[in-house]
């Protein structure tokens, strides 16, 4: 017994004078030793202390000597977070109610989180603190779908600046700049005494400190990687404040909350899109990226954009083209594949190859439109194809033809939309032109209206709505009577028009090649 205590004494004396019992307290405070050892300090086995020291040295990246060497003692005095590095003795702590950390690695259930700063530091202006805290939350929000909102009432996350012995049973050690409690406890305490001593760069320091503590309050543990924002020691200025995270930080927070989904595009700032189709009659869907918008005669329906996958299960983002029949069969095209939905029910074979389901149609189409019956048109580059499911071959040998047949249209389309009142809309890079099936040409503007091509944002998405309303009359696409009863070929007068719409029979079969067509008489 005496020999062991002597060895312990020697081990402790190897460190600086400040190390010793303080080192044991330190190791217990941060989870490397059971806090109960402090009650029998002289009884600590050498091996236990050495193991605890090695654990600490490994965690913070020091040489694992198992001894209280100078580097280890110095490290113990540096500014750091008060949250434990290890939770091996957490069960004991909780039973003794010494530490209230609930758990770690468990996320909040909701992604909308409120926070409250209920005690501000005396030496910093409240507005400055608000700004720094907001920036630190914004950093975490930039890599997740989390949203943070400051309120003045009791919030999910409650933030306070306090002295060492603040309201609960986990006082700050002198080196501690702050600590936080994992979800669902949701409190963050900053050491006001510490920040007073570091006031020269207090705003910037607070940012890094807050960033770290907010990681905990979101459920992230300490990291052993000293490039991580969750390394227990202050990492101020190691990274770019605009993107302060290490890969590991992003991985850890996204393991809890999932990756950040791309934000929907603004159709008014860039009115190009991936695809457009009409179904049911009078309702038009526009797709762009991962999102879709529903257009009604009154404009973009409220609650949009929404994620494509929420309406059409399994549909990828950034599709090439889409079209729908009046019976509710909706086709989406991307690359060499297409996806079929009946209303919103996915077809069991999704996705299928275009070359299998649509023989004669190329991959990577730009536009697709249904023109009634079993007739579809596809556009790619400067070419287009007419596809009649009821014909054999479905695409006549005379295709592809030049897109300029459509009233001189030139360029690559975003997508093409046929409406049953006899118009084909060509959407190109934020503008559109209207092809009139009856006249076989692009419509000319009447009266004081602007000529085609027109900006899509103003005429379809009602961007700049007030201006548009002054000028819009019956040629506004939203006011077109697109009742499906006009599908029949009454709208077509010229047989030289590319839209010779003969087919009126529509099947609900998902495979377009099996759509029956008994009424076909001629092929355009």
Rounded Cα distance, 474 and 476, in Å: 5
Residues 390-409 that bind Zn ion (CB under 5 A): none
Burial class (CB in 10 A: 0-12, 13-18, 19+), 134: middle
Each residue 285-314 as x (binds Zn ion by CB under 5 A) or -, in order, gives ------------------------------
Minimum distance, C-beta of residue 95 to Zn ion, in the bound complex (Å)? 20
Minimum CB distance to Zn ion smaller for 81 or for 492: 81
Which residues have CB under 8 Å from 233's CB, separation 6+?
60, 75, 78, 79, 80, 81, 226
Residues 68-87 that bind Zn ion (CB under 5 A): 81, 83
Interface with Zn ion by CB under 5 A: which range of 186-194, 303-311, 327-335, 490-498?
A: 186-194
Q: Using CB under 5 A, count the residues that bind Zn ion.
A: 3
- Rounded to 5°, the CA angle 171-174-179 comes to 50
Under DSSP, is residue 105 helix (H, G, I), strand (E, B) or coil?
Answer: coil
Rounded Cα distance, 500 and 489, in Å: 7
Return the structure tokens found at 89.
């003795």
Q: How far is CA 21 from CA 9, 38, 71, in A?
A: 10, 8, 17
Minimum distance, C-beta of residue 83 to Zn ion, in the bound complex (Å)? 4
Minimum distance, C-beta of residue 171 to Zn ion, in the bound complex (Å)? 8
> CB neighbours (10 Å) of residue 371?
27
Minimum CB distance to Zn ion smaller for 83 or for 157: 83
Beta bridge partners of 159: 117, 188
Minimum CB distance to Zn ion smaller for 44 or for 83: 83
Interface with Zn ion by CB under 5 A: which range of 29-37, 181-189, 280-288, 414-422?
A: 181-189
Residues 218-237 that bind Zn ion (CB under 5 A): none
- Rounded to 5°, the CA angle 412-416-419 comes to 160
Q: Which residue is nearest to Zn ion (CB)?
A: 81
Minimum CB distance to Zn ion smaller for 207 or for 406: 207
Q: How far is CA 211 from CA 139, 241, 244, 524, in A?
A: 8, 10, 9, 65
Minimum distance, C-beta of residue 246 to Zn ion, in the bound complex (Å)? 14
Minimum CB distance to Zn ion smaller for 168 or for 306: 168
* Residues of each annotated binding site for Ca(2+): 156, 274, 276, 320, 322, 368, 414, 416
Minimum distance, C-beta of residue 77 to Zn ion, in the bound complex (Å)? 17
Q: Where are the beta strands (DSSP E) in 235-382?
A: 275-278, 284-288, 291-296, 299-300, 306-307, 321-324, 329-334, 337-342, 345-346, 352-353, 367-370, 375-380
Burial class (CB in 10 A: 0-12, 13-18, 19+), 502: buried
Interface with Zn ion by CB under 5 A: which range of 68-76, 98-106, 189-197, 375-383?
A: 189-197
Each residue 324-363 as x (binds Zn ion by CB under 5 A) or -, in order, gives ----------------------------------------
Each residue 409-448 as x (binds Zn ion by CB under 5 A) or -, in order, gives ----------------------------------------
Q: Which residues are catalytic?
A: 213
Which residues have CB under 8 Å from 416's CB, separation 6+?
321, 367, 368, 369, 377, 379, 424, 425, 426, 427
Minimum CB distance to Zn ion smaller for 83 or for 456: 83
Instruction: Kindly calculate the radius of gyration of the chain based on its CA atoms and give it in whole angstroms.
Output: 34
Residues 118-137 that bind Zn ion (CB under 5 A): none
Minimum CB distance to Zn ion smaller for 32 or for 378: 32
* Residues of each annotated binding site for Zn(2+): 81, 166, 179, 212, 216, 222, 230
Our finding on whether 487 is near Zn ion (CB under 5 A) is no
Our finding on whether 189 is near Zn ion (CB under 5 A) is yes
Give the pairing type, strands 415-419 and 401-402: unpaired
Minimum distance, C-beta of residue 118 to Zn ion, in the bound complex (Å)? 13
* Residues of each annotated binding site: 81, 156, 166, 179, 212, 216, 222, 230, 274, 276, 320, 322, 368, 414, 416
Rounded Cα distance, 286 and 300, in Å: 10
Minimum distance, C-beta of residue 333 to Zn ion, in the bound complex (Å)? 50
Q: Are 183 and 106 in contact (CB under 8 A)?
A: yes
Interface with Zn ion by CB under 5 A: which range of 117-125, 187-195, 245-253, 276-284?
A: 187-195
Return the structure tokens found at 172.
């700050």
Q: Which residues bind Zn ion (CB under 5 A)?
A: 81, 83, 189
């Amino acid at each position: 017994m005496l020999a062991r205590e002597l060895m312990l004494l020697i081990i402790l004396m190897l460190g600086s004078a400040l190390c010793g019992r303080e080192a044991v307290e330190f190791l217990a405070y941060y989870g490397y030793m059971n806090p109960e050892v402090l009650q029998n300090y002289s009884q600590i086995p050498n091996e236990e202390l050495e193991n605890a020291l090695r654990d600490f040295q490994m965690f913070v990246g020091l040489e694992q000597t198992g001894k209280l060497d100078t580097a280890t003692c110095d490290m113990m005095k540096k500014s750091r977070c008060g949250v434990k590095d290890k939770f091996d003795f957490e069960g004991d702590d909780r039973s003794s109610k010494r530490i209230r950390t609930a758990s770690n690695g468990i996320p909040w259930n909701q992604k909308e989180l409120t926070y409250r700063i209920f005690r501000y530091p005396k030496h910093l202006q409240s507005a400055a603190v608000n700004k720094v805290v907001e920036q630190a939350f914004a950093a975490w929000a930039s890599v997740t779908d989390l949203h943070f909102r400051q309120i003045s009432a009791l919030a999910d996350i409650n933030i306070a600046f306090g002295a060492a012995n603040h309201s609960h049973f986990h006082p700050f050690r002198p080196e501690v700049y702050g600590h936080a409690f994992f979800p669902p406890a949701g409190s963050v305490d900053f050491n006001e005494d510490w920040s007073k001593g570091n006031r020269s760069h207090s705003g910037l320091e607070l940012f890094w400190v807050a960033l770290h503590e907010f990681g905990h309050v979101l459920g992230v543990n300490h990291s052993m990687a000293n490039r991580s924002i969750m390394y227990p020691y202050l990492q101020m200025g190691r990274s770019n404040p605009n993107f302060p995270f290490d890969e590991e930080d992003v991985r850890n927070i996204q393991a809890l909350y999932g990756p950040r989904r791309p934000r929907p595009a603004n159709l008014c700032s860039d009115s190009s899109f991936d695809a457009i189709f009409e179904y049911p009659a009078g309702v038009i869907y526009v797709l762009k990226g991962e999102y879709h918008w529903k257009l009604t005669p009154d404009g973009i329906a409220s609650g949009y954009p929404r994620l494509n996958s929420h309406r059409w299960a399994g549909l990828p983002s950034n599709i090439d083209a889409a079209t729908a029949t009046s019976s509710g069969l909706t086709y989406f095209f991307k690359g060499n594949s297409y996806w079929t939905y009946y209303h919103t029910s996915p077809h069991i074979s999704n996705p299928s190859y275009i070359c299998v389901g649509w023989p004669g149609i190329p991959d990577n189409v730009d536009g697709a439109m249904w023109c009634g019956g079993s007739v579809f048109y596809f556009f790619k580059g400067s070419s287009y194809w007419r596809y009649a499911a009821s014909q054999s071959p479905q695409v006549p040998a005379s295709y592809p033809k030049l897109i300029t047949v459509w009233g001189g249209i030139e360029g690559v389309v975003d997508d093409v939309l046929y409406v049953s009142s006899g118009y084909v809309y060509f959407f190109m890079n934020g503008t559109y032109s209207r092809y009139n099936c009856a006249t076989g040409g692009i419509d000319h503007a009447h009266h004081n209206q602007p000529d085609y091509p027109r900006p899509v944002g103003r005429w379809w998405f009602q961007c700049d709505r007030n201006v548009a309303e002054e000028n819009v009359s019956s040629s506004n696409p939203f006011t077109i009577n697109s009742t499906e009863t006009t599908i029949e070929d009454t709208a077509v007068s010229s047989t030289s028009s590319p839209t010779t719409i003969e087919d009126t029979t529509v099947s609900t079969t998902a495979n377009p090649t099996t759509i029956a067509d008994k009424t076909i008489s001629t092929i355009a």
